[in-house]
Amino acid sequence: MSTVTLNKVLTIKTLNNIAERGLNVFNKDHYTIDNESNKADAILVRSFNMQALELDTPLKAIARAGAGVNNIPVEKCTEKGIVVFNTPGANANAVKELVLTTLIAASRNLFAGVAWARTLDGEGDQIPKLVEAGKKQFVGKEIKGKTLGVIGLGAIGALVANDALNLDMEVIGFDPFISVDTAWNLSRNVHRAMTIEQLFANSDFITVHVPLTNDTKGMFNEATFSLMKPDVHILNFSRDGLVNEADMAVALETGKVGKYITDFPNENVLKMKNVVPIPHLGASTGESEENCAIMAARQLKEYLETGNIKNSVNFPNVSLPYTGKTRVAVFHKNVPNMVGQITSAISNYHLNIADMINRSRGEYAYTMIDIDNEVNNDIIPGIEAQINQINGIVGIRLI
């Protein structure tokens, strides 16, 4: 990562508890951490719901120390040129371990069994006898030889799929958008489901590891339950919105779904039969919180100091070695002749371009231009104003 001397102190606001080692990435000479500020240059967040927050100037970037960004108004950020980052894979191991733990524990009725054992407190010498008589209520099933369906073979899904094979399960995976990197890391013993229906029909256990989007919302519902084997166990460590909760309550009542293990309890979920409610602990390990915080903070710092973008969910990855020359970083619509218009605005000030890069993502693009000459502070507002006049400009920063 490049190191740059900032000529002003930038404010970082945190909306959740962010691991200390992540916050330490921000050198105190150049950054203040102020959680009350409404003039923050950047925000570090985990699951705090930002959907209704005002995104006040001078906010330039938001980093989600974690994977899911459904708590962030990403589209609104894009329209304002605010870069949203997440930390791919940084908490995947933590989630994988809890998925496999709860898959086995729920299959063995461990949660109910432990809760029942606690109720025997006070029974004195009778307890061993009561235990032996009562344990038949909690007879479970082994996972060996059973089929696990994994929906979404990204950072978490791929780890779960590979390790489930080592637990002697059969594994079927479904992910129509699987990345090349993940495909390389996936064991060839993971069977590929060509359709999600195929996965539903053949799985004894189903675990879902996809983001919550308009396409995935409510993917577990009456119609999809009807395709599944009776007594299927469903694990949801992704997001509550993937499940139609009214339909899930019915499926649990009828035994179509044998158990629902979810990291997202709410009033409806807690009333369901055979539910295992976990208080969103998937990524809650010291290791994972540190990984995410450090990765998020480094990405933010790099962006604030050099304009380079890595692991954004709304703008392209862009990297140009930072030489300390004046850098003009522009967000704009991905339409013809933007770069030409931006460079001519710069040439109007008799400035020479040393280097540049342009990358697009969907409807938007990002251009960084390094200027060869020393840029006098007096002309900076003029350059900004000229570029801002161009139709399709979203935002501009001189670094």
Ligand X SMILES: O=C(O)[C@H](O)COP(=O)(O)O
Ligand Y SMILES: NC(=O)c1ccc[n+]([C@@H]2O[C@H](COP(=O)([O-])OP(=O)(O)OC[C@H]3O[C@@H](n4cnc5c(N)ncnc54)[C@H](O)[C@@H]3O)[C@@H](O)[C@H]2O)c1
Residue 64 beta carbon to ligand Y: minimum distance, rounded to whole angstroms: 10
Question: What residue number has its CB nearest to ligand Y?
Answer: 154
Q: Where are the alpha helices (DSSP H) in 271-389?
A: 286-306, 338-347, 380-388
Interacting residues with ligand X (CB under 6 A): 46-47, 66-68, 91, 282-284
For ligand Y, which is the closer residue by CB, 295 or 345?
295
State the binding partner of 46 from ligand X, ligand Y, none, CB within 5 to 8 A by kind: ligand X
State the binding partner of 177 from ligand X, ligand Y, none, CB within 5 to 8 A by kind: ligand Y
For ligand X, which is the closer residue by CB, 92 or 106?
92
Other Cβ atoms less than 10 A from the Cβ of 179: the count is 14
State the binding partner of 155 from ligand Y, ligand X, none, CB within 5 to 8 A by kind: ligand Y
Q: Which stretch of DSSP H or E encloses residue 103?
A: helix 92-107
Residue 61 beta carbon to ligand Y: minimum distance, rounded to whole angstroms: 20
For ligand X, which is the closer residue by CB, 240 or 384?
240
**Phi, psi at 257, each rounded to 5°:** -100, 125
Residue 208 beta carbon to ligand Y: minimum distance, rounded to whole angstroms: 8
For ligand Y, which is the closer residue by CB, 111 or 264?
264
**Pick from 165, 169, 178, 173: nearest CA to 191:** 173
Q: Which residue has the tokens 């450090």?
A: 294
Cβ–Cβ < 8 Å for 237, 156: yes
Give percent helix, percent strand, percent coil of the chain, each to the nearest 5: 35, 20, 45
Residue 48 beta carbon to ligand X: minimum distance, rounded to whole angstroms: 8
Q: Where are the alpha helices (DSSP H) in 141-212?
A: 155-166, 180-185, 196-202
For ligand X, which is the closer residue by CB, 269 or 283?
283
State the binding partner of 258 from ligand Y, ligand X, none, CB within 5 to 8 A by kind: none
Interacting residues with ligand Y (CB under 6 A): 66-68, 88, 91-92, 95, 151-157, 174-179, 182, 209-212, 215-216, 237-239, 263, 280, 282-283
State the binding partner of 209 from ligand X, ligand Y, none, CB within 5 to 8 A by kind: ligand Y
Cα–Cα distance between 308 and 1 in angstroms, integer? 10
Q: Which stretch of DSSP H or E encloses residue 225?
A: helix 222-225
